[in-house]
Structure 1
Amino acid sequence: MENSSWSKKALNFTKKLNNFIYPGTTRQSTIPLTVGGFNVGLINKEALTQLVKYPDVFKVVEGSGGKKLKLSDKFDDYDARTSAVEGVLLEMKGRGGHVCLDGWRDETYEVSIGPSHQSLFRVERAATSMLGVKTYGSHMNGYVNHPSRGVCLWIARRSKTKATFPYMLDNMVAGGIASGVRVVGTMVKECWEEAGIGGELAGQATPVGTISYMYENHLGIHQDVQYCFDLELSVDFQPRAVDGEVDGFCLYTIDEVKELVVSDDFKPNSAGVTLDFLIRKGFVSPDEVPDYNEIIQLLHFKYEDC
């Protein structure tokens, strides 16, 4: 694939990963979700229509910056907020109030203004896109310095039964950071469950930064941050799926990976993590990829900056 053609495909991919900032989304009509005096999410009209049906919990208020959806101040601590929001979501789920709740997982994420700040409440994972809150995950690139093929990456094929992005390509290891679990702990846990990598080997993975992006789809607004790890594996290492969420693994050369990340076969956020690996390791050159700067900027997008 010619570099100019690949560059445009990579740029188009990163734009799709951040489609919320471009025309055609609800960006201009969203309002902030305010909890405890902090803006923690973004609410589009579809979500707002449902949430205002619970005025004892949520209400629209006018402020100096315009309208906001506010969680009532009577829920003034972590447990009270968690319970109030969960009650609304369960009632909505029961009546089919929002499509995102059809994917209810019985797994919660923490909600705060950032990872260094105290959590304000926890919420069902499936509802995070409806509330437009930030979510976090841990992804690991497993790579091999192959004697004849050069640097190669292990790429997973997701199970056909996955609720989201079934049978698409994925990072070797990836998982959302649930309540009560930290960044490295998530990575180590997912290493075993998804690829059969034991704790001692998983502990050798190197944290290499994050990617961040923001997109909107039928489920709502996704503000995601993925913590990235790299783990060099021996040539004879063979990953194995333990929890059934992965259909299989394949070891690809860098040239093959470059084509895969700009295809429609790769889970988008995981393709972003893989693209970040290619850039960091020098497999994508600024002299050969005209859209290099914009691609990198879009892999590290923050809504506050736009």
Structure 2
Amino acid sequence: MNKTPAENPMVDAGWLRALQAQASQPPLRPRVPLWAGDSLIGSVEPDFLCQISLQPLSNGHEQLLKEERSGVSGWCLQGEVSAGLNRVAAALQTAGLAGVWRNEQLAVHNERGERLGTVERAAVRPLGITTHAVHLVGQTADGRFWVQQRSLTKANDPGLWDTLMGGMISAADTLQTALVRETWEEAGLELGKLGDVTACGRLSMRRPSEDGMGAGYVVEHIDWYRCTVPQGLRPVNQDGEVEQFCLMDARELLSRMQHNEFTTEAALIQAAVLGLT
């Protein structure tokens, strides 16, 4: 597995190109900016927010205004960011335009990475708000991979294979606390008992989403790590979101990846581990 993709007969070069292309897909339809005050926080389809009803603010001003800035039309959220975005999220849910409601707040940042507020997770894809996630690749001492099959009832990618752990970073978490928490919740493993936990890079995803009745857009940054799972430790799911865990050697892993049995994110991360990208 240490050959380049072009030299490795096990690697379908067309599949690898298609996989890489999945990480950067344009929206299905045009989108316009979503601002909060002077800051860009997301994007929406031009008339998407016309479908929801919001009460005016206490000062009588509308909560969402159509504006034009430097010749670009978009929508601007008025007032306090967290309160305003969560009112929008509730209105989207009422209109049947939100994703699966999680009662989980995610951080909302401006273009400089400064945190401006939080919003219900169900609203981030319809509003094109950038999210952050963390993944952990787990290998045994002999190089085999611990992977999980996502629950068959998951809203996204049910039944597909994934890395040992992958989860969203909530507003209450830092990257490190999310790594610790998600490793326990998804795999029942304590991070401190794993060997050689190493930060390996960041994967950025842009692609259309089915949320918002097909009007959503994913913008996500995934920080991923590798570790060694010591002999005798086996992952055991704690939160009901994993169907099963399995050990795969590199050959089986690559074969299943090329048969599109893995999520796009997991395939891209594990392709990097295998030296394919």
In structure 1, distance between residues paired with 2:229 and 2:159:
24
Equivalent in the alignment of 2:85: 85
Letter in 2 for 1:273: I
1:202 to partner: Cα distance:
4.9
| Structure 2 residue 226 is the aligned partner of structure 1 residue 234 | no
1:206–1:231 CA contact under 8 A, matched in 2: yes
1:13–1:262 CA contact under 8 A, matched in 2: no
SS of alignment partner, residue 26 of structure 2: helix
| Structure 2 residue 4 is the aligned partner of structure 1 residue 8 | no
Equivalent in the alignment of 1:107: 104
1:111–1:120 CA contact under 8 A, matched in 2: yes
Equivalent in the alignment of 1:193: 185
Equivalent in the alignment of 2:133: 137
Point out where structure 1 has 5 or more consecutive residues left out of the alignment.
Answer: 285-295, 297-306
TM-score normalised by structure 1 residue count: 0.78
Offset from partner CA, 1:170-222 (integer Å, 9 cap, x none): 11011100011011111111111111111422585211111002001322100
Distance 1:169 1:118, change over 3 A: same
Identical columns (%): 24
| Structure 2 residue 67 is the aligned partner of structure 1 residue 61 | yes
Equivalent in the alignment of 2:59: none
1:191–1:202 CA contact under 8 A, matched in 2: no
Alignment of 1:1-306 (within 5 A): 3=9, 6-20=12-26, 25-26=28-29, 29-45=30-46, 47-50=48-51, 56-72=62-78, 75=79, 80-96=80-96, 98=97, 101-113=98-110, 117-146=113-142, 151-202=143-194, 204-219=196-211, 220-279=216-275, 284=276, 296=277
Distance 1:252 1:65, change over 3 A: farther
Letter in 2 for 1:40: I
1:164 to partner: Cα distance:
2.0
In structure 2, distance between residues paired with 1:202 and 1:136:
23
Q: CA RMSD in A?
A: 2.3
Point out where structure 2 has 5 or more consecutive residues left out of the alignment.
Answer: 57-61
Distance 1:202 1:81, change over 3 A: farther
Distance 1:202 1:111, change over 3 A: farther
The count of residues paired between Structure 1 and Structure 2 equals 262
Offset from partner CA, 1:236-265 (integer Å, 9 cap, x none): 332111222111111111122222223322
Distance 1:129 1:206, change over 3 A: same
2:183–2:189 CA contact under 8 A, matched in 1: yes
Offset from partner CA, 1:77-127 (integer Å, 9 cap, x none): xxx22112212221331232x1xx25111111101025x733112111111
SS of alignment partner, residue 126 of structure 2: helix
Letter in 2 for 1:169: W
In structure 2, distance between residues paired with 1:154 and 1:46:
45
1:52 to partner: Cα distance:
8.1
SS of alignment partner, residue 189 of structure 2: coil
Distance 1:224 1:113, change over 3 A: same
Query: If each structure's helix is expressed as a fraction of its own residues, which one has the higher value?
Result: 1
Distance 1:250 1:4, change over 3 A: closer
Letter in 1 for 2:70: S
Distance 1:33 1:51, change over 3 A: farther
Letter in 2 for 1:82: S
1:32–1:43 CA contact under 8 A, matched in 2: yes
In structure 2, distance between residues paired with 1:54 and 1:69:
16
Distance 1:53 1:30, change over 3 A: farther
Distance 1:48 1:276, change over 3 A: farther
2:89–2:122 CA contact under 8 A, matched in 1: no
TM-score normalised by structure 2 residue count: 0.86
